[in-house]
Amino acid sequence: MRTVIYSTLVRLWGNQKPHAQLTPYGTLEQNGTGTLEDFDDAALDYLTSLGVSHLWPIGIIRHATQTPLHGWTDCPDQHPDIVKGQAGSPYAITDYYDVHPTIVRDPMKRRETFRSFIDRCHRHGLKVIIDFVPNHVSRQYDGTHTPERATPLGAQDDRSKAFDPNNNFYYLPGSSLQLPNRSSSYHEEPARVTGNDCWSATPSANDWYETVKLNYGVDYRPDRSSVAHFDPIPATWLQMRDILCYWAAEGVDGFRCDMVEMVPVAFWHWVIPQVQEKYPVTFVAEIYQIDNYCKYLADGCFDLLYDKSGLYDTLYQVVTQERSVSAIEERLISNNKEYAPDELLYFLENHDEVRLASPYFADTARRGLTAMTLLALATPSPLLLYAGQEYGERGLDAEGYSGPDGRTTIFDYWSIPALGHRDPADPTYQSYQWLMRWAQHPVILRGAFHSIQEQARAWGGFNAERTYGYLRLLDPAEQQAGETIGIAVLGNFTADLQRYPLFLPSLEKAFERQRLLRVTHHTPLEKPDEQLYAFQPWAPLMVELAPFGIQILELQNANLNQISG
């Protein structure tokens, strides 16, 4: 089965608060929240019906929040001036050894609830990936539930030193922190370096001012040089390894590792093999510099990398008309040459990026589906879906800390209307079900990628800058009479009808040959249309593509002859 990861904030998933009753900047009491219990049997069946293999629930580990916790939980409160949004960022961790208390119905039984959630997912055949945030923590990291054998981060730091290999944080001796809110009563002296490598005691509102950077034994100098102190092993390395092992022992199946390039690759090279020697867990890297891909696969020992700077950026630029569709093929060929299919995680949405159906990307779910289909069927690589994508969520609510920017908030208590009712008759949902079935097709999983665009461009008669196609084809040894041997995927990024000339690559130079194939045309929400066609090098099959439409052509042998690339 192909790996398909479904990502969602726990607080958003099960929140049944009617959308019209939500309050911008609303509190937990006003707007409500989803909980781990909302991932019940019906919800998990819903995910498996989409072909999901892994669930990535965001916000598991306790993080900063403006919600008062003291009195009804065993957790301390955080100062509101160092929390973004009422709910707070799930990437500003306050205790690596704790489950966030507001994502369960009984906060005093949150560890038991988390274990039950893990067991429930496993019974449904779903693996669970959680976030590991290695670069930074909340400014008020408390580590209240750190096991007795371990040391909470910062507890043994020498705060008089800007750098010490055994400190967990970096300090700015002689300075006091000044938050963007200058009237804040929050006090921090000496100030610590902010999470996004802001080496100033006065971080701006655009900095990650609510977080502090962790020290992995690298001494960063004023002249921008750095000196590594990795022998003996820095304290932070040992503490973070123990945290990973703690959650692996709790039953999680993998870690989505946040901002891995901000942590020395030597740490990953050291820690991942140690954890995987004890536990069968997968490590997924959030990575942005494409020149670092190979380093973090080979030296960093990661199993899977975000392909943000590759196909995501390429398709974004094609959809927004910044580049021609030729850029898609260039990137596909490059990725297929440089990386194994199981090394890159492909997506067009995640919690950091604008929604695919938002006006800042494809503008509609239909146009987004065209891009997603071309991405999903080009390789057998793992895929990532973000909650609400399958319903065309546009991210245009003014939730509070987040505004109508095309993103779904990670900072506020809110709900996603589509997830509240999960209508099986919704046409966008049905289209995604259709796509995810094709994503598991044997030809997509085993067939080779064949370029057909240049021959179509040479024939002409369509907009070759905004219409794109490719062919997935089984090896001749696997082709059987009467069975599907190839799948062509054609997408139209224009507002006009396009007639795409489909050639078979095996006929480019064999002018005396022809192939009789049964061709079945598949489009979302429509009944398949079947025809017999004799492919010849001088007579392509002309395929009509609706405006902004996608079409899958299933090719089956109508005789015993085989097609080869």
Alpha carbon separation from 14 to 8, 31, 220, 282, 342 (Å, rounded): 10, 12, 44, 26, 31
How many Cα atoms within 13 Å fall on the side-chain side of residue 501?
Answer: 18
Task: Using DSSP bridges, classify how beta strands 550-557 and 484-492 pair: parallel, antiparallel or unpaired.
Answer: antiparallel
Residues in the chain: 565
Q: Cβ neighbours of residue 411 under 8 Å, at least 6 residues apart?
A: 84, 85, 86, 87, 88, 89, 399, 400, 401, 402
CA distance 223 to 227: 12
Provide the token pair at 466.
């905004």
The predicted pLDDT at position 508 comes to 47
For the chain, give the mean pLDDT.
95
Query: By three-state DSSP, how is residue 553 classified?
Result: strand
Burial class (CB in 10 A: 0-12, 13-18, 19+), 538: exposed
Instruction: Tell me the sheet residues that pair with 169.
Output: 214
Contact 452, 471 (CB under 8 A): yes
CA distance 209 to 225: 24
Mean pLDDT in order along the chain per 10 residues (565 residues):
96 92 97 97 95 98 97 95 97 98 98 98 98 98 96 97 97 97 92 97 96 98 92 98 98 98 98 98 98 97 97 98 97 96 97 97 97 98 97 95 96 87 88 97 96 95 98 88 91 98 70 78 96 89 98 86 47
The predicted pLDDT at position 516 comes to 87
Closest CA to 379 of 335, 419, 319: 335
pLDDT (tens digit per residue) in 16-58: 898 899 999 999 999 999 999 999 999 999 999 999 999 999 9
Closest CA to 96 of 52, 148, 176, 152: 152
Packing angle of the helix pair 365-376, 427-439 (nearest 10 deg): 10
Contact 296, 259 (CB under 8 A): no
pLDDT (tens digit per residue) in 511-558: 446 788 999 999 999 999 999 999 888 889 999 999 999 999 999 988
DSSP single-letter state for residue 297: H
Question: Domains in the chain, ordered, with CATH?
Answer: 4-143+226-440 (3.20.20.80), 443-557 (2.60.40.1180)
The predicted pLDDT at position 177 comes to 97
Instruction: Tell me the sheet residues that pair with 56.
Output: 7
Provide the token pair at 365.
């779910």
Provide the token pair at 225.
């040089």
Instruction: Determine what percent of the chain falls in helix, strand and coil, rounding each to the nearest 5.
Output: 30, 20, 50
For residues 505, 506, 510, 515, the Cα torsion angle rounded to the nearest 10 degrees is: -110
What's the gap between Cα 458 and its chain centre? 37
pLDDT (tens digit per residue) in 179-209: 998 889 999 999 999 999 999 999 999 999 9
Q: Cβ neighbours of residue 209 under 8 Å, at least 6 residues apart?
A: 82, 179, 180, 194, 198, 203
Q: Quickly list DSSP for 218-233.
A: EEE-TTS-EEE--SSP
Query: By three-state DSSP, how is residue 103 classified?
Result: helix
CA distance 555 to 472: 10
The predicted pLDDT at position 511 comes to 43
The predicted pLDDT at position 420 comes to 66
How many Cα atoms within 13 Å fall on the side-chain side of residue 550?
Answer: 23
CA distance 480 to 391: 37
CA distance 217 to 235: 8
The predicted pLDDT at position 561 comes to 47
The predicted pLDDT at position 507 comes to 47
